[in-house]
Structure formats: C-alpha cells, structure tokens
Amino acid sequence: MLQSKESFNIIVLAKQVPDTRNVGKDAMKADGTVNRAALPAIFNPEDLNALEHALQIKDKHPGTKITLLTMGPGRAAEVIREGLFRGADDGVLLTDRAFAGADTLATSYALSMAVRKIGNFDIIISGRQAIDGDTAQVGPQVAEKLGIPQITYTENIESIATDKIRIKRRLQNGVETVESPLPVLITVNGSAMPCRPRNAKLLQKYKHAKTVTERQVEHIDYID
C-alpha cells in the first residue's frame, strides 16, 4: 500500500504508436517497415499502465506533479491530451524532423536530454515496451544516460518514501520485491493495473489545449 507522506515530481514517458492490433493489407511498406499512415494512432498500451502508476501515487500524495514526455511529430500531442484527460498535470512534446526514423539509442538520448531540461524529478515511469517495436530498450537506456537506478517489469508500487521506493516485479519465474533510492526510472508491465478512463471535467478543461510555449532551439513544445 502506498504511504501518504510527501509529494513527488514524476515524469511519464509515453509514445504514440500505430494500432498494430488492426493490421490490414496496407499496414506494411515494401521495405518491411510499418506504414504508419495506414493505421490509426493510439497511446501505447503499456505507457497507459505507467500513467496509472503515476496517478495512483498522486492520489496518495497530494501535491505530486505528473509531466508527460513524448517524442514524435506534431500529432503526437494527442498522447499528451489523453494524459491530461486522465489526470496528468502537463506535458512536453519533443519534436523535430531530424527525429524521424530514430532508433532506440537516438530516442533515449533525446528523451534523456529533455528530462534534464525539465529537471527536478523523483521518478520516471514508462511502459516496458512499445507495440510498434517490442524492444524494451528505451526506458533502461534513458536511465543509463541519466545515471540513475532502474527497475524493470514493475507490477505494483508497494510503498514510496522521501528517499526510496519499494516495488513488486513480475518475472517469468515468479515475483520479486526490490527497493531503490530516488531518483529512479521504472518500467511497467502490461499486466499491471490498467489506466483509469478519461475524467469528464478534465476532458472539458483540456479538449482544446494547445501548445503554449515553443522553444525553437531545443525543439521542445510544452502543453499545459
């Protein structure tokens, strides 16, 4: 059970992905890559699980701030809006044409630089992997680039205090409980608690949310 004591600054890494659950004949290009234009875009499912973990912390620790961080084209701002509709506080869209086709190494580098720009974080939470790549590499790579501990395969956050977090991991051969000092990056399994639905009041508040600050040099767009 989460213990109510402090408030925390949480960054949730999220990705807009093509819905590969509905793959048709036009879903793949001749070179074997996904034809993203032929598929609807959705909030990566395991990143929604990650968002729910952040929201549960916020429920127990009033004053906690949740910032969504995503990287992609302008339309990826829909991921941030979806997060705002569920209870996130603000979001950052990292966008540049130079990011097109980025592999996990380039993606994790860009995200880690954005995290440094945001600053003042206690916990970074991401889904274990994205359904359009299934690599499970970006979260751990971001942690390595930031020089912070990482806990993968998170099933549940059992407790959190000023300087440490206790987590239950679900592995192939059983369950493991581990502790880590803060700050920490955790990745969340798809079998974890599903994300709550949109909040009607927040939907009305944020349905017309727009980019309010644009930093051309860093190519970071802020939505609040």
pLDDT of residue 26: 64
Distances (CA, A) of 61 to 3, 76, 84, 168: 8, 29, 18, 19
End-to-end Cα distance, the chain: 30
Give the span between the Cα atoms of 79 and 196, in whole angstroms. 15
Q: Which pLDDT score is estimated for 4?
A: 45
Gap between the Cα atoms of 120 and 205, Å rounded: 26
User: Is the sign of the CA dihedral 221, 213, 146, 186 positive or negative?
Assistant: negative
Between the CA of residue 165 and those of 5, 29, 118, 168, 188, what are the distances in Å?
13, 44, 22, 10, 14
Residue 122 has what pLDDT? 96
State pTM to two decimals.
0.81
Chain centroid to CA 50:
6
**Domains located in the chain, CATH noted:** 9-223 (3.40.50.620)
Per-residue model confidence as pLDDT tens for the chain (224 residues): 444 458 999 999 998 877 766 666 566 666 656 666 667 788 888 899 999 999 999 999 999 999 999 887 778 888 888 889 899 999 988 877 777 767 777 888 889 989 998 989 999 999 887 767 667 788 889 999 999 999 999 988 999 988 999 999 988 888 899 999 999 999 998 777 778 877 778 877 777 666 544 444 344 444 44
Q: Which tokens hold the place of 209?
A: 């949310």
Predicted pLDDT at 158: 92
pLDDT of residue 3: 47
- Residue 85 CB-density burial (10 A; 0-12 exposed, 13-18 middle, 19+ buried): buried
Check residue 32 and give its pLDDT: 59
Confidence at residue 33, expressed as pLDDT on a 0 to 100 scale = 60
